[in-house]
A and B are shown apart, each in its own frame.
Chain A
Amino acid sequence: MKNRRLAVISGIFLGIMLLFTIVSRIRNSWLVPNVSSVSPIKSRLNYEVSGTGIIDYDEILFLSVCEGLKVEKVFCRTGEWVEEGQGIIKYEKDSVEEALLRAEIERREYQLVVIGAEDDYRELMADKIKLMDKTVDVLKDILENDCVQAADLTGYIGEMQIQARSITDGSEVVDIVFGTAFIRGTVKTEYDSLLSVGDAVEVYVGNDAVLGEVTECGYDSGSRELALMITLPQGQYDYGTEAYFSFGMQSESYDLCVPNTALFQDAKGAYYVLTVEERNSILGNRLVAVRKEVDLIAQDNDYSAVKGEITKNDKVIYNWDREVYGDCPVRENL
């Protein structure tokens, strides 16, 4: 009787153990991460460098702004294209005549002062007379042009500090930019060794793409990036608008390149990859993720060139469906 009871208990015990053997196996199998792996490849890294900049021109012409003119109308705004002779500002006639009279009187005064003056002072007065001559000429031109100040050449209005119904004080800046268009932008300094003056760059201005050329390339201490000046080909580009530039380049060949997703960084900043290796465990031969320390040499958008504990025969994990870590069992997607 006693033995029978013990036999039943033993049977139940073995049954429970068998049941949990199956349950724990299924559960363990369910929780094993599915990973995809790839062997490191020998490759060059492709860099796709991009950035934005504002279109500017390399030459500038400042328009003479006389003091005390009452502005009736301003025809152009900053960034507007103007042809040579096109009206930019219209002044009130009375104020122009008044300013012309003042300028002529002032010039006369200088001319009188210069007679019998010392040599040094005479030179100074001569400069002032020249300036007044120019002012008088400008004012006369404006008067002759129906009180409209016109553009001296074709280009974009670079700056327009004059507003309608204001009175000028002579310090306002109105300029026209022209010449060769360029943009300035910055990229990461790591591209320093790959970029040089003369490199072709694709620049997108609106929907149009043009091929620009790197004309300046240097470290910008302010942004701590690589500052670029990209000259655009001859053409008419809207001054002050934003342009997007991008260019591709290839690095030297690296022996061990892994996908960027395969590269991990721990809390101390050390880089490592996880490789799939078969290991003998209690549950038999199992695939486990093995941590291997590496140094990052270079990186593009897709691949990282590394060196360290891995070899070209390793299978580096680059994709997973659950968190993977060193020594954790994994299942490989084939």
Chain B
Amino acid sequence: MIEMKGIKVIKFLAAAVIVFIVVASVYMLVCSSFMAEDELALCYGSVIGDKEGLAKVSLLPVYPTIHWFKTLFLDTPEFFVMFWNSCLYTAGVLAGQVLIGTPAAWAFAKWKSKKKKMLFGIYIVLMVMPFQVLMVSEYLVLHKLSLLDTPWAVILPGVFATLPVFIMTRFFQIIPDSLLEAARIDGASELTIFLKVGVPLGKAGILSIIVLGFIEYWNAIEAPLTFLSNKALWTLSLYIPNINQQQAGNALAASVVMLIPAVLVFMAGRDYLEAGIAQSGLKG
């Protein structure tokens, strides 16, 4: 009993430390975005500039200013170009994943085929491969299709990503086959069964892949950096590293703004996100 309690305390402490690290970094980001240039140099000069020594942590800005937000919103149209690019790519990928991934997952979950297992195995192998492994082959395919330097270069590989199919397959597998049999007996076609039974019952899975997908593609760096040389097509996540040291405040303000959609989506789909992670991880 005491041992159980001790484990619980350790778990709580470990969780508290992790939460503290995460919250502290977000807090520092928000605080720093309201600091003046001099204060930023004073606090983080050793990190972002040429100053020697260690960074100083300031809990609150000495003289809070909205200068960086004003600069970002009024004098940096580039930021908005990238913001809308990020929106476009994320929306495109998510729409594509729902349209393409959902029927695919339904097929893997409910259709009977001899080669289904083998195909699903390939999907899993592809899923565990990091982007760097597939990068060259994707690049060559996109080049062959003349899709490089177009929004499709980012959207299409995302649309055909394997993780959403994997997650939704798990959700669709929970749906009892007897329910589908009953629908078939009532004369429902396969498409009707998919649309009227599968999709409503797998809604949690679809929403979970939307939440997961949003977070992944909103913060995507590798694919846009590899497939897009035209800066006008770049995403927000590429904009922030491009800001130089003199504009560190701008980068902080941009990071705060970039954080907002992710936070909103997370808050809206937190339950589905947890379910998705559970389906893809624990139950798998």
Contact = CB atoms under 8 A, between A and B. Distances in A.
B27 interface: no
Contact of B231 (A3, A27, A281): A281
Given A282-B82, A282-B232, A24 B264 contact: no
A21 interface: yes
A322 B81 CA distance: 25
Interface string A26-45: 01100000000000000000
B121 interface: no
Nearest to A25: B77
Nearest to A31: B75
Interface centre among A2, A20, A285 (most CB of B within 10 A): A20
Interface residues of A, number: 21
A24 B232 contact: no
Contact of B239 (A2, A23, A282): A282
A27 B79 CA distance: 14
Q: Is the interface of A mostly helix, strand, loop or mixed?
A: helix
Interface in B41-87: 73-84
B75 A282 contact: no
Contacts of A3: 268
B264 A282 contact: no
A281 B78 CA distance: 9
Interface stretch (A9-17, A137-145, A234-242): A9-17
A13 B79 CA distance: 15
A24 B75 contact: yes
Nearest to A13: B260
A280 B77 contact: no
B73 to A, nearest CB: 4
B84 A6 contact: no
Contacts of A21: 77, 80, 83-84
Interface size class on chain B is 20 to 34
A282 B78 contact: yes
Contacts of B75: 24, 27-28
A6 B267 CA distance: 8
A1 interface: no
B200 interface: no
Contacts of A10: 261, 264, 268
A282 B73 contact: no
Contacts of B77: 21, 24-25, 27-28, 283
Contacts of B264: 6, 9-10, 13
B267 A284 contact: no
Interface in B255-272: 260-261, 264, 267-268
Given A13-B260, A28-B75, A282-B239, 15 more contacts: A6-B267, A6-B268, A10-B268, A17-B80, A20-B73, A24-B74, A24-B79, A27-B74, A27-B77, A28-B77, A280-B231, A281-B231, A281-B232, A283-B232, A285-B232
Interface of A: 2-3, 6-7, 9-10, 13, 17, 20-21, 23-25, 27-28, 280-285
10 contacts: A13-B264, A24-B74, A25-B77, A27-B74, A27-B75, A280-B231, A281-B232, A282-B78, A282-B231, A284-B232
Interface of B: 73-84, 229-232, 234, 239, 260-261, 264, 267-268
